[in-house]
Structure 1
Amino acid sequence: MESKYSNYIVYVDESGDHNLTDIDEHYPVFVLAFCIFNKEDYCKTIVSKLQKIKFKYFGHDMVVFHEREIRQAIRPFQRLNNQQIRNEFMDDLTNFIQESPFTLISTVINKQRHNEQYLYPQNPYTLSMKFNLERLYKFLEEKGETDLKTYLVFEERGRREDNELELAFRRCCDYDNYLGTNLPFEIIFAKKSVNSCGLQLADLVGRPIGRHQLNPDQGNRAYDAIKPKFRSFNGKIEGYGLKCFP
């Protein structure tokens, strides 16, 4: 049976918040990351490798990886307070990201500059999503898959916020985009507790991208691992896999 679905699945996560009135001076950015997986690679490679890391360090695969909990070594990652275990775990996690076949599209919005430059600044989440969807379409166009439906998986944030996001998503897909075309995408919301390998990987990439934009000269091992994953053209990622705004 010929499938009506594309060969790709997209998992979405953010770093920072989209609040424009109370901006954290230490992290004044909002990052939205799209992790794009070929479904066959995802099933055969991504899932099994992440499960192996979980079994190795936790003895089961029910633990859900969240960047903040790992960074702060809080439950269920208390073992990472042991420096030797932490070093080994981070080595394995970094290698997992480096070896995982996926493509990254991300937008970084500096909220302070966004406020200063625009009298009526748009919601950073909605704006980032539009930028990313346009680049996702171009990616799928290159793969010859724009006639097929592609699903994007977002983490639930709350009923009101999810409804607003879905409305903005559907408007963008319905010709309200820079490309002036109908985007063949569909949105799915997953609960925060869901044990999805794709969502967990997406959760791990957002903050390193934001930190690199704020401190590009500072060493950032996590960013170095994900940088080759950005969609690019002749080695250039800006404008292709990464949008920095304004």
Structure 2
Amino acid sequence: MQRMTKWTDKTPRLMAVDESGTSRLYDDEDTRTKENRWIVISGAIFSQSENEDNIKKIIELKNKYWNNGMFHGERVVFHGREIKKGIGAFSKEVIDRDSFMDDLCTVISELEFEVASICIDKHEHCDQYSTPKNPYVLAYQFLLERFCMTLKFGEHSCVLNESRGNKEDTKLYNLMKPFLEDGEPYISNKIHQIDNVYFNSKLTGNKKKSYFMLEIADLSAYTLHTYLRDDVNTMLFQSFRNKYIGGHPINGHNYKIFPKECYKEWR
């Protein structure tokens, strides 16, 4: 699978994709829990022209709380689960967590990007369809549709996924390949404006740099998943509200829950 080594202005638009939850379906009601109900996929959409300013803000935030933005010899990575649990670099023994959370929310509000999120209620999906689709693939297709709708005609772009390992990455790409090649009527030929689909870890190989775009996608997906699953409404979750395409979450557009009967309004 392709790895992105440098984002250039040849593809001025980029969507970073990350998910929270798993794609496994539970057709046995005895195995269903609120923990395995949802899968959420978020796409954080960036423009290359604004990349330098975004990087500067991220680096300044990391340098404020960790020496040169490093922890135990590795670049600090904003990971939703670790931030929530206060472990590793985000432990209260390492940083002032309250101050950090305030600053993180402020930086997210200042960064230039847009968000779209797709949420699949796997239990209802399994109940409503005799042959339910893979929830991850279904959500990914919905997300690509929304990304393509943001592109100007002729505008080149790329998609950056978090790598799960070569086997898993290849499986996902092969599942998505027909859609990427043929598209659907909703997006017409804009699907062909996606020049490359990359699979990268959040950290570079030497662990000295990170792909902050994937970090933002992670935080968006994780906080939304926690809201849907546990009704946890945090300041970090709310910091993404105004980042949705169009300025706020819009049911069925930039914030899609499937099946639609499972819609949960932001509050």
Question: What range describes the TM-score normalised by the shorter chain of this pair?
Answer: 0.7 to 0.9
Instruction: Please give the residue correspondences for 1:98-113 in structure 2 after superposition, counting only pairs within 5 Å.
Output: 98-113=109-124
- How far apart are the structure 2 equivalents of 1:111 and 1:204? 21
Give the drift of 1:149.
2.5
2:35 touches 2:229 (CA, 8 Å); kept in 1?
A: no
The verdict on how the C-alpha distance between 1:87 and 1:38 changes in structure 2, with shifts beyond 3 A counting, is: same
2:13 touches 2:156 (CA, 8 Å); kept in 1?
A: no
Give the drift of 1:219.
3.4
TM-score when scaled to structure 1? 0.86
TM-score when scaled to structure 2? 0.80
- How far apart are the structure 2 equivalents of 1:27 and 1:52? 37
**What do residues 159-210 of structure 1 show as CA deviations (whole Å, max 9, x unaligned)?**
2321121123321122243426331212001024331111111111112222
1:108 touches 1:245 (CA, 8 Å); kept in 2?
A: yes
Question: 2:235 is matched with which residue?
Answer: 221
- How far apart are the structure 1 equivalents of 2:249 and 2:168? 34
The verdict on how the C-alpha distance between 1:215 and 1:66 changes in structure 2, with shifts beyond 3 A counting, is: closer
- How far apart are the structure 2 equivalents of 1:72 and 1:90? 13
Residue 167 of structure 1 is aligned with which of 163, 171, 174?
174
Give the drift of 1:239.
2.1
Give the drift of 1:81.
5.0
Count of residues in correspondence between the two structures: 235
- How far apart are the structure 1 equivalents of 2:178 and 2:226? 31
- 5+ residue gaps, structure 1, are none
The verdict on how the C-alpha distance between 1:23 and 1:199 changes in structure 2, with shifts beyond 3 A counting, is: farther
3-state SS, counterpart of residue 174 of structure 1: helix
- How far apart are the structure 1 equivalents of 2:39 and 2:219? 15
Question: 1:26 is matched with which residue?
Answer: 35
1:232 touches 1:240 (CA, 8 Å); kept in 2?
A: no
1:4 touches 1:149 (CA, 8 Å); kept in 2?
A: no
Question: 1:187 is matched with which residue?
Answer: 197
Give the drift of 1:28.
1.6
1:65 touches 1:200 (CA, 8 Å); kept in 2?
A: yes
- How far apart are the structure 2 equivalents of 1:187 and 1:60? 31
AA of the residue aligned to 2:83:
I
- How far apart are the structure 2 equivalents of 1:81 and 1:110? 37
The verdict on how the C-alpha distance between 1:222 and 1:180 changes in structure 2, with shifts beyond 3 A counting, is: closer
- 5+ residue gaps, structure 2, are 1-7, 70-74, 205-209, 260-267
AA of the residue aligned to 1:245:
F
3-state SS, counterpart of residue 12 of structure 2: strand
1:107 touches 1:244 (CA, 8 Å); kept in 2?
A: yes
1:130 touches 1:177 (CA, 8 Å); kept in 2?
A: no
Question: 2:59 is matched with which residue?
Answer: 51
Aligned CA-pair RMSD? 2.3
The verdict on how the C-alpha distance between 1:181 and 1:134 changes in structure 2, with shifts beyond 3 A counting, is: same
> Percent same amino acid among aligned pairs?
28
3-state SS, counterpart of residue 193 of structure 1: coil
